[in-house]
Amino acid sequence: MEYILNKRQLKIIEILKNSTEPINSKALATDIGCSTKTIQVEVKNINSTLEKVKIDSIRGMGYKLVGDIKSIDKLENNTNYNDMDRISYILKQILTLYKNKTLKLENLADDMYVSLSTIKNDLKEVKDILKDYNLKIISKHKLGISLDGDIEDLKRCILESNIKYKDLSLEDFFTDYVKLNIGNIRLEILNNLQEENIILTDYEFNNIFNYILISLSIEENKDYKSYTKDYITNYQNKFIKENNKENKEKILNSIEKFTKNLKLATSIDLSNDRVFKEYLYRHIKSFCIKKDFGVNNQSIVANEIKLKYPFAFELATIAKTTLEKDLDLEIDENETANIAIHIGGALQRSRENINEKSLKAIIVCASGVGTSMLIKAKLEAKFDKKIEILKVIPSYLIDYVKVLDVDFIIATVPVNIKDIPVINVSPFLDDKEIKIIEKFLDTGKIYYNINLSEIFNKELFFTDLDFDNKFDVINYMSNILLQKNYIDDEMKNSYIDREKIATTEIGNMVAIPHGAKGKVFKNAVAIGILKNPIPWEIGQVRLVVMLCLQKESILNYEDLFSNIYKRIDSIAKVISICESKKYDKFIAMFKN
């Protein structure tokens, strides 16, 4: 059976599917951008449409998805996205209203076979899209609506909308003149690139090609040959300017400054990674050129990177702050995601910088010969030449270790010995314990595996915080961590220092402050729920997740950070937490 659900209904289902706890109507309404009454109506419509899945209303808690949840996966292929079709169609019609062209809403409604009230409602969403490009819909008496804004912003909106909305095609905006000469225009671009000795990637060429096609369509009565020649000549001049010694030093100095800020804020040191610096320099240089020529740079979609690599994205916000200040740039989320890819690569290289020296170890085991031989076999199979196992001994012979030249001990029982690192493992040596040993071989440090649910404590769960600015919130929460002996004074002060380097705001009304200097005595995460959202730096924040973690000793710290992020990756989840104010409901999110 084919289910016909609109975009709003699909969004409700998606939010509830991704939540382990009920979500109330206020949270859903805020996330989707409608009233609570609309949510109630849409839930009723969903329940009357779907057979295998229903939305239950749990009194005092909210809505929860029940039934055959797996069947929802098939909805994407069997659903008519009529709401999104309308938005794309209206957006397309409005983006053609340059040069004082007008459009009557009544005619638009007739064309789409919908009511005038439906068009007016959809127009609100279109206005929100256009606002990001400094474009406005204006009303003209008796003539209808028109589009107001700068022509370069219009071009950017068309080019980027082509990527964001599947129902929009660049060809929809081409004039007959452009359509007739599209092959000649492409050839003209290639000839001019060859004359200027410019070599581009396929992606860069397509971006320039599309920009010129849209420009010629919007700025009518221009000869494609002269326009293309002027554009490529200016592009080359800009390239030469950006590539000069003075400008190169300026970009490299800013990158160097970023690595220092990164080390100060997170203790991560990328200052010796020449590959990272060179490729980030090339990227920033390319970005500086493209931004002046309206060339779209969205090969990476920010939401994908934020979900898959939130830690690298968070580090990229430090780069964004530094580069924007030093180079007078405006770096959006998509460009921040591009930078995150470079940082992610550098982090991966640092992990692969493995110490090839073979370390000597002994195994201390009290479970019998069979178990100890199993551990020995597993280690030799996994680490081959990286570990030389000298002996397998019972715990009562531990003093024997003192006469051996041993780098570390692997023990299945508690061992009390000074000056030699001891890694405690289970008799069956699971995958996490193997990772701990692997980390020790790479860094010489013993890391510990921490379960997400273990680092929350009810005494660090604060509700109804009444503050006006972010620094007051950070001071209050970090001061309690200090008073309860979770951190020292230096770590407390470093929360503020870190926030001054770059915002810890991650979107969805959430900030994740964390320090870089000082000592953490006990691993924990403090939760602060503000009485009302407050301005942070980019947007509003209501949920503050303050990390108090010994990063240098936690196995897979980045995964831990990612897991925290994924539990609060939608406004609906965040508002549901904030409205509930219940510790048990919050902690339940991290136990599943």
Which of 95, 220, 83 minimizes the C-alpha distance to 162? 95
Q: Of 154, 173, 192, which one is at a domain's C-terminal end?
A: 173
Whether residue 91 lies inside any domain: the answer is: yes
SS3 34: coil
For residues 297 and 314, give the distance between their C-alpha atoms in angstroms, rounded to a whole number. 20
Overall number of domains in the chain: 6
Q: What are phi and psi for residue 428, nearest 5 degrees?
A: -105, -5
Q: Is 68 found in the same domain as 97?
A: no
For residue 55, the enclosing domain spans 7-78
Q: Of 138, 173, 208, which one is at a domain's C-terminal end?
A: 173
Neighbours of 576 (CB within 10 A): 27
For residues 265 and 252, give the distance between their C-alpha atoms in angstroms, rounded to a whole number. 20
Q: Is 147 found in the same domain as 87?
A: yes
Q: Is 581 found in the same domain as 470?
A: yes
Q: Of 242, 266, 300, which one is at a domain's C-terminal end?
A: 242
pLDDT digits (tens, 9 = 90+) for 21-55: 888 888 888 887 778 888 888 898 888 878 788 99
pLDDT digits (tens, 9 = 90+) for 230-266: 888 887 776 666 566 677 888 899 999 999 888 887 7
Q: Say which CATH number the domain at 376 has.
A: 3.40.50.2300
Contact 334, 297 (CB under 8 A): yes
- Supply the pLDDT for residue 80: 42
Whether residue 287 lies inside any domain: the answer is: yes
Q: Is 300 found in the same domain as 215?
A: no
464 CB burial (10 A radius; 0-12, 13-18, 19+) = exposed
Whether residue 2 lies inside any domain: the answer is: no
- Supply the pLDDT for residue 77: 45
Q: Say which CATH number the domain at 102 has.
A: 1.10.10.10
- Residues in the chain predicted with pLDDT less than 70, given as ranges, are 1-4, 73-85, 99, 112-113, 166, 238-245, 289-302, 351-357, 367-371, 447-449, 552-558, 591-592
Query: In sequence order, which residues have a C-beta less than 8 Å from that of residue 315 and are 6 or more positions away?
Result: 262, 266, 268, 340, 343
Whether residue 418 lies inside any domain: the answer is: yes
- Supply the pLDDT for residue 473: 96
Q: Is 235 found in the same domain as 146?
A: no
Query: In sequence order, which residues have a C-beta less than 8 Å from that of residue 102 and are 6 or more positions away?
Result: 140, 143, 144, 145, 146
Q: Is 465 found in the same domain as 577?
A: yes
Q: Say which CATH number the domain at 502 has.
A: 3.40.930.10
- Supply the pLDDT for residue 145: 92
Identify each DSSP E strand in 94-213 by its residue range: 136-140, 144-148
Q: Is 582 found in the same domain as 457?
A: yes
Identity of residue 197: N
Q: Is 437 found in the same domain as 367?
A: yes
Whether residue 1 lies inside any domain: the answer is: no
pTM, two decimal places: 0.55
Q: Is 334 found in the same domain as 253?
A: yes
Q: Is 572 found in the same domain as 473?
A: yes
Q: Is 507 found in the same domain as 459?
A: yes
pLDDT digits (tens, 9 = 90+) for 129-138: 899 889 999 9
Q: Say which CATH number the domain at 257 has.
A: 1.10.1790.10
Q: Is 399 found in the same domain as 276?
A: no
**Could you tell me where the DSSP H helices lie in 135-201?**
151-164, 176-195
For residues 415 and 465, give the distance between their C-alpha atoms in angstroms, rounded to a whole number. 46
